[in-house]
């Protein structure tokens, strides 16, 4: 089945086509330049940018692939969690297209789609343990199958990505700061005791990164020489050798603190009796592109004798390919929504309220564009 995916949960406007889960093409417009001035995403600006860019992106997608709405078997759209105003732009677009073309509508849990990004083009053995780590969420999940997922632990306050970005803001690094923290701390032996590994003095699988965020801000305030006098212009390559070593050591220590906190909780989940034996480990989300975290996960799965499934770096951030691919999974299972589908803002659980019907599948045709 050919599925059109629409993603507008935060500050990326994206549309994509997947054919039975295989990526065909994607068009994405980033809003980083719009929000960098403010040091974070401004919800009202984000929703306006989604509205402005949606039409041109859809036209470009269909022009590039030579396909049209008539070729699409279903419309999949991120319904949440995310910024409510942003989500509503995507939902309104998907509903209008579904109604006008008489196509099935599938609402997709944004977090579910992130995990499925790690499985695109791969056969994942289930049950599997999943780690979702992003700017707004840090969760450990048990995947009994691609459509049967239980949350084992979640962040109680700030997510790992929030800690990265706020630490970068303390240092006067550009938004999004996690990219700078990763690059500047790479290939440096971390001072492991510089920052705490938060919320480990317990036996649960939940996370709390607010204390770590405060610890970094307090340390930088006490060492004012670490904070840049002038924020560098965002964008372009980052050469760590151009940056002060003292700042790079802070970045390395923060990378270690977050990566090792994730490791401890993942080891705890693997050893938990109620989790049972798992056959693979998946990790996804924007922070899953962090090199220190990827190294930690590679080492963990090697020691445990488990296969590791990580998305391509470009599929770690918000994208529509993961929405379309997850839409294919749901559509093949006959799971759809009506036009009363609602958006789910951050902080609320996305309900499993699908309508059950016949599979939307049909014989697959390779619709990927020819190489140029």
Question: pLDDT (tens digit, 0 to 9) for every residue of the chain, 372 residues total?
Answer: 999 999 999 989 999 999 999 999 999 998 877 887 777 789 899 999 999 999 999 999 999 999 999 999 999 999 999 999 999 999 999 999 999 999 999 999 999 999 999 999 999 999 999 999 998 899 999 999 999 999 999 999 999 999 999 999 999 998 888 999 999 999 999 999 999 999 999 999 999 999 999 999 999 999 999 999 988 887 778 899 889 999 999 999 999 999 999 999 999 999 998 888 999 999 999 999 999 999 999 999 999 999 999 999 889 999 999 999 999 999 999 999 999 999 999 889 999 999 999 999 765 555 555 544
Rg for the chain, CA atoms, rounded: 21
DSSP 371: P
**Burial class of residue 184 (count of CB atoms within 10 Å of its CB; 0-12, 13-18, 19+):** buried
Known binding positions for substrate = 132-136, 165, 178, 182, 290
Strands 280-284 and 308-309: parallel
Name every residue whose Cβ is closer than 8 Å to that of residue 1 and which is 6 or more positions away in sequence: 19, 20, 73, 74, 328, 331, 332, 360, 361, 362, 364
Whole-angstrom Cα distance, residue 98 to residue 72? Answer: 10
What SS3 state is found at 111?
Answer: helix
The annotated binding site for Fe cation is made up of: 110, 114, 318
Q: What's the pLDDT score for residue 362?
A: 66
- 148 phi and psi, to 5 degrees? -130, 95
Q: What stretch of H or E contains 79?
A: strand 74-80
How wide is the angle at C-alpha 55 spanned by C-alphas 59 and 63, nearest 5°?
Answer: 5
Domains of the chain: 2-115+316-356 (3.30.420.40), 125-310 (3.30.420.40)
Residues 335, 353 contacting (CB under 8 angstroms): no
187 phi and psi angles, rounded to 5 deg: 65, 25
Residues annotated as binding site?
110, 114, 132-136, 165, 178, 182, 290, 318
Distance in angstroms between the alpha carbons of the first and the last residue of the chain: 25
| DSSP structure class, residue 3 | E
> What's the CA gap between 335 and 313, in Å, rounded?
29
The answer to whether the beta carbons of residues 21 and 331 sit under 8 Å apart is no
Residue 220 is inside which H or E element, if any? helix 210-222
Coil, strand or helix at 139: strand
pTM, full prediction: 0.93
């Amino acid at each position: 089945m050919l599925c059109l995916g629409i993603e507008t949960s935060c500050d990326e406007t994206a549309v994509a086509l997947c054919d039975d889960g295989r990526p065909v093409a994607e068009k994405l417009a980033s809003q980083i330049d719009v929000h960098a001035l403010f040091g974070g995403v401004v919800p009202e600006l984000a929703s306006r940018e989604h509205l402005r860019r949606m039409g041109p992106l859809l036209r470009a997608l269909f022009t590039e692939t030579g396909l049209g709405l008539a070729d699409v078997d279903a419309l999949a759209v991120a319904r949440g969690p995310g910024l409510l105003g942003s989500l509503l732009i995507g939902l309104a677009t998907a509903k209008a297209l579904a109604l006008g073309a008489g196509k099935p509508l599938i609402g997709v849990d944004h977090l579910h789609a992130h995990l499925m990004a790690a499985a695109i083009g791969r056969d994942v053995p289930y049950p599997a343990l999943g780690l979702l780590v992003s700017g707004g969420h840090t969760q450990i999940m048990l995947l009994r199958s691609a459509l049967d997922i239980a949350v084992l632990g979640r962040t109680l306050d700030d997510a790992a990505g929030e800690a990265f970005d706020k630490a970068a803001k303390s240092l006067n690094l550009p938004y999004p700061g996690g990219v700078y923290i990763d690059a500047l701390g790479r290939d440096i032996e971390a001072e492991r005791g510089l920052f705490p590994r938060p919320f480990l003095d317990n036996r649960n699988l939940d996370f709390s990164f607010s204390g770590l965020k405060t610890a970094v801000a307090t340390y930088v305030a006490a060492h004012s020489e670490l904070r840049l006098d002038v924020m560098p212009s965002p964008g372009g390559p980052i050469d760590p050798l151009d940056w002060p070593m003292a700042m790079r050591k802070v970045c390395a220590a923060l990378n270690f603190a977050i990566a090792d906190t994730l490791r401890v909780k993942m080891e705890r989940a693997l050893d938990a009796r109620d989790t049972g034996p798992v056959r693979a480990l998946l990790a996804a989300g924007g922070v899953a592109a962090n090199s220190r975290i990827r190294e930690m996960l590679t080492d963990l799965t090697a020691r445990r004798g488990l296969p590791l499934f990580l998305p391509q770096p470009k599929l770690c951030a918000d994208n529509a390919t993961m929405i379309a691919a997850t839409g294919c999974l749901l559509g093949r299972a006959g799971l759809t929504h009506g036009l009363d589908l609602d958006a789910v803002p951050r902080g609320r659980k996305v309900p499993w309220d699908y309508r059950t019907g016949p599979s939307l599948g049909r014989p697959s045709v390779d619709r990927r564009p020819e190489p140029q």
